[in-house]
């Protein structure tokens, strides 16, 4: 079997946005809120990241503002937005009907909240973004959900384990994948 060359690999610097400025116990995904002190997070990240890399970002403010500190004009891509929780967006978790939460728990990857999308749909659009990259290395400023479903895919995790992938606010995860997405 031939060895994979550097041209066959993609290095991604997956960055989660700073902690969002949203009340505790509120469901948020596509809810467009600012993040805590993006400049402070960016200062730390700039010391860790290789210089001159292209920066891609979710269009949501908590990512976009951080990305703009890393590069004044990042490439904004809607496929990097967090999962769309539909009717649940902005609602307290305890106000969401228990039957809907139970349905989600019963089908972690496939259930879509009313008016929203499923984690599997999120994964498909995130993978489509990665498949379209033509650079050898990039910074991607996005959300825990996006990072979680990508890492779960590349690690071959079953859907029941996707939520076990911990992604801290302002974290920097480096991953190297084959151009075919493996």
Residue 157, domain extent: 9-178
CA distance 15 to 103: 30
Please give the sequence-ordered ranges of beta strands (E in DSSP) within 7-96, or none if there are none: 9-16, 55-57, 75-76
Q: What is the C-alpha separation between 174 and 142, in angstroms, rounded?
A: 13
79 within a domain of the structure (yes/no):
yes
Q: What pLDDT score does 182 carry?
A: 47
pLDDT tens-digit map of 5-54: 556 799 999 999 999 999 999 999 999 999 999 999 999 999 999 999 99
Nearest CA among 7, 11, 9, 6 for reference residue 140: 11
Q: What residues contact residue 158 under an 8 Å CB cut-off, 6+ apart?
A: none
pLDDT tens profile 63-104: 999 999 999 999 999 999 999 999 999 999 999 999 999 999
Query: Does the pLDDT value for residue 4 go beyond 70?
Result: no
Residue 177's Cβ-count burial label (10 Å; 0-12, 13-18, 19+) is middle
Answer whether residue 58 is part of any domain: yes
In a domain, 4, yes or no: no
List, for residues 100-117, the tens digit of each pLDDT value. 999 999 999 999 999 999
For residue 47, is it within any domain?
Answer: yes
Q: 1 in a domain, yes or no?
A: no
Is pTM beyond 0.75? Reply is yes
Q: Provide the CATH number for the domain around residue 118.
A: 3.40.50.1240
Residue 3, domain member (yes or no): no
In a domain, 28, yes or no: yes
Domains of the chain: total: 1
Does 2 reside within a domain? no
Cα 75 off chain centre by: 15
């Amino acid at each position: 079997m031939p060895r994979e060359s550097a041209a066959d690999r993609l290095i991604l610097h997956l960055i989660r946005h700073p902690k969002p400025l949203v009340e505790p116990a509120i469901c948020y995904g596509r809810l467009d809120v600012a993040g805590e002190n993006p400049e402070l997070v960016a200062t730390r990240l700039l010391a860790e990241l290789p210089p001159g890399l292209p920066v891609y970002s979710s269009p949501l403010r908590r990512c976009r503002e951080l990305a703009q500190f890393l590069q004044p004009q990042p490439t904004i891509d809607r496929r990097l937005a967090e999962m769309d929780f539909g009717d649940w967006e902005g609602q307290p978790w305890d106000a969401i009907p228990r039957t809907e939460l139970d349905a989600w728990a019963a089908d972690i990857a496939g259930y879509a909240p009313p008016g929203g999308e499923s984690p599997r749909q999120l994964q498909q659009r995130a993978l489509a973004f990665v498949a379209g990259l033509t650079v050898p290395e990039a910074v991607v400023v996005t959300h825990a959900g996006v990072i979680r479903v990508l890492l779960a895919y590349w690690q071959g995790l079953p859907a029941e384990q996707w939520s076990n992938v911990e992604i801290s606010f302002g974290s920097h995860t480096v991953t190297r994948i084959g151009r075919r997405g493996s």
